[in-house]
């Protein structure tokens, strides 16, 4: 954990503002004002906006995945229940007043075509999330392919919740995941 208070204040401000308004809509002056640090100190810690965006996404990635894993670990010891608990966590996230969709989908949509760093951060986050769901699926007796299919349900739920403004997509995706986990309904092979 970073112990530099100025750096933490800057990252807190960046996370709130970039997530709520979009990366391109927020300038370094706005971050400076919101964090209460001098512009000089801001640029000492983050020499460019790109450096700040990279740090914001790295911190968001770690926090988001840790929060999800903590919820799953506390939900149940039942492997199938652990996998389905992901959708309960998503539904809770979707109901938060500051929910604006997936920060990685949003940042990729804004800058993925022009910023290799943003594209790489988004790819890393999604790869890690999908691998986690594959791990949960195999622990529940399904295949990694089923875990990938369930990850796509979660991704769709995130996008749908952001656009619709309602959390219902989480419960719909959970029902679809339950079907995928039911023996006889599984399609553990990827189509060619």
List pLDDT tens digits, range 161-185. Answer: 999 999 999 999 999 999 999 876 6
CATH of the domain at 10: 1.10.10.60
pLDDT of residue 184: 67
* Region at 141 (left for phi over 0; alpha for psi -120 to 50; beta for the rest): left
- What's the rounded Cα separation, in Å, for the pair 159 and 108? 13
Same domain, 60 and 32: no
- Which single residue is written with the structure tokens 């995928």? 180
Same domain, 30 and 61: no
pLDDT of residue 138: 96
Residue 1 confidence class, pLDDT cut points 50, 70, 90: very low
Give yes or no for residue 190 having a pLDDT over 90: no
Encode 10-56 in three state secondary structure. Answer: HHHHHHHHHHHHCCCCCCHHHHHHHHCCCHHHHHHHCCCHHHHHHHH
Same domain, 72 and 128: yes
**Mean pLDDT score across all residues of the chain:** 94
Report yes or no on 102 lying in a domain. yes
Whole-number percent of the chain with pLDDT over 70: 94
Give yes or no for residue 119 having a pLDDT over 50: yes
Closest to 136 in 3D by CA, of 183, 185, 69, 60 = 69
Give yes or no for residue 9 having a pLDDT over 70: yes
Report yes or no on 92 lying in a domain. yes
Give yes or no for residue 41 having a pLDDT over 90: yes
Same domain, 107 and 21: no
What is the token pair recorded at 67? Answer: 């929060």
- What's the rounded Cα separation, in Å, for the pair 17 and 112? 19
Report yes or no on 192 lying in a domain. no
List pLDDT tens digits, range 136-166. Answer: 999 999 999 999 999 999 999 999 999 999 9
Same domain, 24 and 61: no
What is the token pair recorded at 115? Answer: 């910023």
How big is the chain, counted in residues?
A: 192
Residue 142 structural domain: 54-181
CATH of the domain at 148: 1.10.357.10
- What's the rounded Cα separation, in Å, for the pair 139 and 84? 12
Report yes or no on 189 lying in a domain. no
Same domain, 170 and 101: yes
Same domain, 100 and 122: yes
Q: How many domains does the chain have?
A: 2
> For the residues of 135-153, what is the DSSP string, one character each?
HHHHHTT--HHHHHHHHHH
- What's the rounded Cα separation, in Å, for the pair 165 and 28? 29
Same domain, 18 and 75: no
Same domain, 59 and 26: no
């Amino acid at each position: 954990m970073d112990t530099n208070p100025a750096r933490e204040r800057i990252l807190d401000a960046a996370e709130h503002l970039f997530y709520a308004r979009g990366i391109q809509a927020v300038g370094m002056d706005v971050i400076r004002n919101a964090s209460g640090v001098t512009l000089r100190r801001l640029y000492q810690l983050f020499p460019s906006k790109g450096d700040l965006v990279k740090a914001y996404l790295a911190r968001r990635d770690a926090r988001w995945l840790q929060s999800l894993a903590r919820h799953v670990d506390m939900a149940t010891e039942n492997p199938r229940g652990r996998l389905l608990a992901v959708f309960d966590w998503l539904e809770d996230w979707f109901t938060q007043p500051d929910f604006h969709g997936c920060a990685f989908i949003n940042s990729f949509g804004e800058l993925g075509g022009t910023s290799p760093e943003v594209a790489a951060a988004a790819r890393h986050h999604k790869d890690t999330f999908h691998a986690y769901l594959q791990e949960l699926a195999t622990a529940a007796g399904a295949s990694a392919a089923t875990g990938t299919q369930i990850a796509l349900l979660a991704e769709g739920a995130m996008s749908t919740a952001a656009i619709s403004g309602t959390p219902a997509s989480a419960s719909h995706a959970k029902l679809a995941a339950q079907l995928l986990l039911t023996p006889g309904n599984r399609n553990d092979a990827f189509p060619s």
